């Protein structure tokens, strides 16, 4: 029985290790590359406030089944996205203040997470051939970010596509997945793009 468990564990590791991929942010406003975020910016008293409201909706897709994220998962996701929002706003020299009243917010953020966590049809061919036959797939709109600037009514939607490549040849570099961009990196890239390109009121342009 112990040997069987070891074989199954090794098999699952080998199968999972022959898949690599990347995330791509779509529908950016700016066509120029976004500069990376600098270390935390200290909040000063004279910088403008940015009151933000954030709402997260999530569900996972596996073949034809749909399941909601657990309460624990949603709490972790909310905390992570809130911290990412605060980081970007600080970087852009705003004093971030979270509100749970959408009507009182300057920035309304709606996040929809719809990752496909299983294999699609073409990927089973790679699995059945033990990684010999390659396959690749692009899963569209796995993460969706909708921003609205209340003072001007400007709104913009972003989404993230996930590309997966499956083949035995990628086995030696499977660990690069840990170095690839994650959903929070793409969210920060989207929010930074929106903030940098949002239309400001006359008073804000004078104060920033």
CB 54 within 8 A of CB 112: no
- Give the end-to-end CA distance of the chain in Å, rounded to a whole number: 67
The stretch 174-200 carries a mean pLDDT of 81
Of the chain, the percentage scoring pLDDT greater than 70 comes to: 65
Are β-strands 95-98 and 49-62 bridged in parallel, bridged antiparallel, or unpaired? parallel
pLDDT of amino acid 83: 98
Burial of 28 (0-12, 13-18, 19+ CB in 10 A): middle
Of the chain, the percentage scoring pLDDT greater than 90 comes to: 50
81-98: per-residue pLDDT in tens?
Answer: 999 999 999 999 999 999
Rounded (5°) CA angle 31-139-183: 60
Q: What confidence category does residue 132 fall into, taking pLDDT thresholds of 50, 70 and 90? A: low
The stretch 180-202 carries a mean pLDDT of 86
**Is the pLDDT higher at 108 or at 39?**
108
Supply the pTM of this predicted model: 0.77
The stretch 167-177 carries a mean pLDDT of 55
Query: Of 118, 115, 166, whose CA–CA distance to 144 is shortest?
Result: 115
């Amino acid at each position: 029985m112990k040997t069987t468990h070891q074989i199954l564990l090794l098999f699952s590791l080998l199968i999972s290790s022959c898949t690599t991929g990347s995330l791509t942010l779509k529908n950016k406003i700016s066509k120029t590359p976004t500069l990376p975020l600098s270390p935390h910016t200290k909040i000063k008293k004279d910088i403008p406030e940015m009151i933000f409201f954030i709402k997260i909706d999530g569900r996972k897709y596996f073949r034809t089944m749909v399941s909601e994220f657990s309460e624990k998962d949603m709490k972790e996701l909310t905390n992570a996205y809130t911290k990412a929002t605060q980081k970007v706003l600080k970087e852009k020299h705003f004093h971030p203040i979270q509100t749970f009243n959408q009507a009182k917010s300057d920035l309304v953020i709606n996040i929809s997470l719809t990752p496909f966590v299983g294999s699609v049809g073409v990927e089973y061919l790679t699995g059945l051939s033990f990684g010999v036959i390659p396959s690749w797939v692009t899963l569209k709109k796995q993460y969706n970010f909708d921003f609205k600037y209340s003072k001007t009514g400007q709104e913009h939607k972003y989404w993230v596509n996930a590309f997966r490549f499956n083949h035995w040849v990628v086995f030696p570099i499977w660990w690069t997945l840990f170095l690839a961009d994650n959903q929070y990196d793409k969210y920060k890239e989207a929010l930074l793009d929106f903030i940098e390109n949002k239309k400001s009121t006359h008073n804000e342009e004078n104060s920033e």
